[in-house]
Structure 1
Amino acid sequence: MNATLIAVALSLVSAGAYATAAVAQARLAGRTDPSAGALRLMGRGAWWSAVGLNAGGALLHVAALKYGPLTLVQPLGALTLVAAVPLGARSAGRRVSRTEWRGTLLTLVGLAALLLAAGGAAPHDTLSLPEALGVGAVTMALVAALSRPGTRPGLRHAAASGITSGVASALTQTLTVAATDHSGPLLSWRLVTVAVLVSFFALGGLMLSQTAYRGGLGAPLAVVTLANPVAAAAIGLILLGERIQGGAVGLVPALIGTLAAVRGVVLLSRAQAGSTAGGVPEPAGAASVAAASVPAVTVPAVTVPAVTVPAVTVPPSRVVLTGPSLTAPRPAEPFTLYPEPVGSPGGPG
C-alpha cells in the first residue's frame, strides 16, 4: 500500500481517539473544582480514560509520522474537531446544528486540498541535536509567555497546548525515523535527548489542554487544532526540508485549502461555544415592565380586647407589575380587626 494512504488512514483513527479524549476531558473539567490539584485529578477514573485515549491516539500518530511528512500528517489533526462535534453533541443530548455541518464540510474540503498539495514521500531527514535543543528552548519560551502565572485559563493555554503538541510530533518523527532506519546507535545522546523532550512536551500539552478546557470545549479545541499543525509544519518546512508539491503552483490549492479549513474550524468553534452558553431566552409576548406609584395608606388605630394595634402608615413605594396588561391599583378601604375565638382552627387552642 502507498505510504501516503497508510499515513492518512492512521491519522483518521488517531483523530477519532483524540476527539473522544477531548470530549472526556471537557466533561471532566466541567465536573472538577478549578482549585483541585493534579493529584486529585489523577485519582479519578475518567482522567485515566482520557489519558488512555490520548496515548492510543499518540501511538497511531507516531505510526502515521513514519509514513508521511509533517505537512501531510499534522493538518489531518483538524479531523479531531470534526469528530468531536457529533461526539460532544451526543454527550450533551442535542443535535448537530446547521452551522456545525457547514464547518465540518468546509474543514473536510480544506483538508482534501491540503492533501493534494502536501502529499509527499515518507520522511528521511531528522533534526540534529543542536536543532532539537533550539526547538525545545524556543517552545518553552513561548509556553512560558502564554501560560504565565495569573493568566486566566482559556485560549492562551490552548495555543500553548497546540504548540507543544506540534513540537512533540516533530520531535517524535525525528525519533521514529532515526530509530527505524538503523543508521546509528539507538542510545545516542541525540535520541535520548529527543525522547526526553518528546515526553516533556507531550505531557505539558496534555495538562495545558486540560486547563484550557475549563472555559468550554469549542474555542480552545479549535485553537489547539490550528496551532498544532502550524508549529509542526513550520519545523518541517524550515528544518527538515519538506516542500509543497508543485512548487509555486502548488501553493494555490494549499492556500485555498488552508483558508477553507480555518473557516471551517472557526465555524465549529463558534457553534460549540454557542451550544455551551447557559443563557435563558426571555419568554415571547412578555409585557414590558412598568412601575406605578402607590399613595400612602393610613390605617386608623383599632382597639380589641387585650390587643392594641397602633396606627400604621405605609409609605409610598414603587411596585413592579408584569404581564400583558396593567391594572390601576384600587383605593385602600378601612378595615376592622376582630378577635379570633379561642379554640378555632389556627388559634392558640
Structure 2
Amino acid sequence: MNATLVAVALSLVSAGAYAAAAVAQARLAGRAGRSGGALSLMGRGAWWSAVGLNAGGALLHVAALKYGPLTLVQPLGALTLVAAVPLGARSAGRRVSRTEWRGTLLTLVGLAALLLAAGGAAPHDTLSLSEALGVGAATMALVAALSRPGTRPGLRHAAASGITSGVASALTQTLTVAATGHSGPLLSWRLVTVAVLISLFALGGLMLSQTAYRGGLGAPLAVVTLANPVAAAAIGLILLGERLQGGALGLVPALVGAAAAVRGVILLSRAQGRPAAEAPPGPPGAVSSRVAARQPPRVVLAGPPPAAPRAGEPFTLRPEPAGTARGPG
C-alpha cells in the first residue's frame, strides 16, 4: 500500500481516539473545578480511560509519522474536531448549534487547504541534538508566556497545549525515523534527550488541554487543533527540509486556509460563550408527571371528620396511605 495512504488511514483512527478522549476530558474538567482541581481526577477511572484513549491515539499518530511528513499528518488532526463537537453535544444532551457547525466547517475547510499545500514524501531528515534542545527551550519559553495569568486563560492554555503536542510530534518523528532507519546507535545522547523531551511535552500537553477544557470544548479544541499542525509544520519546514506543494505558489492556499480556520475558531469561541439553550419540552404529560413526582404526600384526616378538639387536646394529622379512598366531603 502507498505510504501516504497508510499515513492517512492511521491518522483517521488516531483522530477518532483523540476526539473521544477530548470529550471525556471536557466532562471531567467541569468536575475538577468543583472537587479541588485537576490532580483530584487522577484517582478516577474515567480520567485514566481518557489517558488511555490519548495514548492509543498517540501510538497511531507515531505510526502515521513513520509514513508521512509533518505537513501531511498533523493537519489531519483536524478530524478530531469533526468528531468531538457532535460527540460533546451528545454527551451534554443537546444539539450542535448552527454556529458550531459553521465554525467546525470553516476550520476543516481551512485545514484542508493547508493539507493540499503540504508535501507527501516520506520523512528522512531528523533533528540534531542542538536543534532538539533549541526547539525544547523555545517551546518552554512560549508555554510559560501563554500560561501567565490574564484574560482568555482557556484559549491560551489550549494554544500552549497544541504547541507542545505539535513539538512532541516533531520530536517523535525524529525518534521514530532514527530508530527504524538505523541511522545511529539507539542509546545515543541525542535520542535519549529527544525521548525525555517527548515525555515532558506529551504530559504537559495533556495537562494543559485538561485545564483549557474547563471553559467548554469547542473553542479550546479548535485552538489545539490549529496550534498543533502550525507548530509541527514550522519545525518541518524550517529544520527538516520539508517543502510546500507548488513552491511559493503553495503559500496562497495555505494563507487562505489559515484565514478560514481562524474564522472558524472565532465562531466556535462565540458559540461557547453563549448560554445553553433550554431543553425542549417532552411529550404531553411529561411535565405534569414530573411535577406530580415532586409533590409531597397529601395530608388528610383519617376517618370521618372529627369534632372540634377540646381545649388542650392535640389535633393529629397523618399521611394518607397509598390506595386509600377519600370519603365524601
TM surpasses 0.5: yes
Distance 1:348 1:159, change over 3 A: farther
Rounded to whole Å, the distance in 1 between the matches of 2:268 and 2:151 is: 25
Rounded to whole Å, the distance in 1 between the matches of 2:152 and 2:120 is: 40
List per-residue Cα deviations over 1:50-106 (Å, max 9, x = no partner): 000100111111111111111111122222112111101111112222223333333
Secondary structure of 1:237's aligned partner: helix
1:133-172 matched pairs, under 5 angstroms: 133-148=133-148, 153-172=153-172
Larger proportion of strand: 1
Rounded to whole Å, the distance in 1 between the matches of 2:310 and 2:81 is: 65
What is the match of residue 326 of structure 2? Answer: none
1:53-72 matched pairs, under 5 angstroms: 53-72=53-72
What is the match of residue 104 of structure 1? Answer: 104
Secondary structure of 1:61's aligned partner: helix
What is the match of residue 326 of structure 1? Answer: none
Distance 1:29 1:113, change over 3 A: same
What is the match of residue 17 of structure 2? Answer: 17
Q: CA deviation at 1:124?
A: 0.6
Amino acid at match of 2:249: V
Distance 1:30 1:344, change over 3 A: same
What is the match of residue 227 of structure 2? Answer: 227
Structure 2 residues without counterparts, runs of 5 or longer: 280-306, 314-329
1:115-264 matched pairs, under 5 angstroms: 115-148=115-148, 153-264=153-264
Distance 1:108 1:223, change over 3 A: closer
Rounded to whole Å, the distance in 2 between the matches of 1:107 and 1:148 is: 27
Contact kept? 1:125, 1:241, Cα under 8 Å: yes
Structure 1 residues without counterparts, runs of 5 or longer: 282-342
Secondary structure of 1:120's aligned partner: coil
Rounded to whole Å, the distance in 2 between the matches of 1:143 and 1:101 is: 30
Greater shift in the superposed pair: 8-17 or 122-131: 8-17
Rounded to whole Å, the distance in 1 between the matches of 2:310 and 2:201 is: 73
Rounded to whole Å, the distance in 2 between the matches of 1:130 and 1:136 is: 10
Larger proportion of helix: 2
Secondary structure of 1:118's aligned partner: coil
Rounded to whole Å, the distance in 2 between the matches of 1:33 and 1:346 is: 59
Q: CA deviation at 1:19?
A: 1.0
Amino acid at match of 1:259: A
Q: CA deviation at 1:110?
A: 2.7
What is the match of residue 301 of structure 2? Answer: none
Q: CA deviation at 1:43?
A: 0.6
> Between Structure 1 and Structure 2, how many residues are aligned?
286
List per-residue Cα deviations over 1:107-131 (Å, max 9, x = no partner): 3333332222103201111100001
Distance 1:92 1:35, change over 3 A: closer
Amino acid at match of 2:268: L
Rounded to whole Å, the distance in 2 between the matches of 1:44 and 1:6 is: 35
State the structure with bigger RCO (CA 8 A, min sep 6), 1 or 2. 2
Secondary structure of 2:121's aligned partner: coil
Contact kept? 1:217, 1:273, Cα under 8 Å: no
Contact kept? 1:69, 1:121, Cα under 8 Å: yes
Secondary structure of 1:241's aligned partner: coil
Distance 1:161 1:347, change over 3 A: farther
List per-residue Cα deviations over 1:15-66 (Å, max 9, x = no partner): 1111111110010111224562555311101100100010011111111111
What is the match of residue 42 of structure 1? Answer: 42
Contact kept? 2:38, 2:211, Cα under 8 Å: no
TM value normalised by structure 1? 0.75
Secondary structure of 2:117's aligned partner: helix
Distance 1:7 1:141, change over 3 A: same
Amino acid at match of 1:239: L
What is the match of residue 318 of structure 1? Answer: none
Distance 1:144 1:115, change over 3 A: closer
Identity of aligned residues (%): 89
Greater shift in the superposed pair: 175-184 or 154-163: 154-163
Q: CA deviation at 1:347?
A: 8.4
Contact kept? 2:66, 2:176, Cα under 8 Å: yes
Secondary structure of 1:32's aligned partner: helix
Rounded to whole Å, the distance in 1 between the matches of 2:103 and 2:39 is: 37
Distance 1:91 1:345, change over 3 A: farther
Secondary structure of 1:245's aligned partner: coil
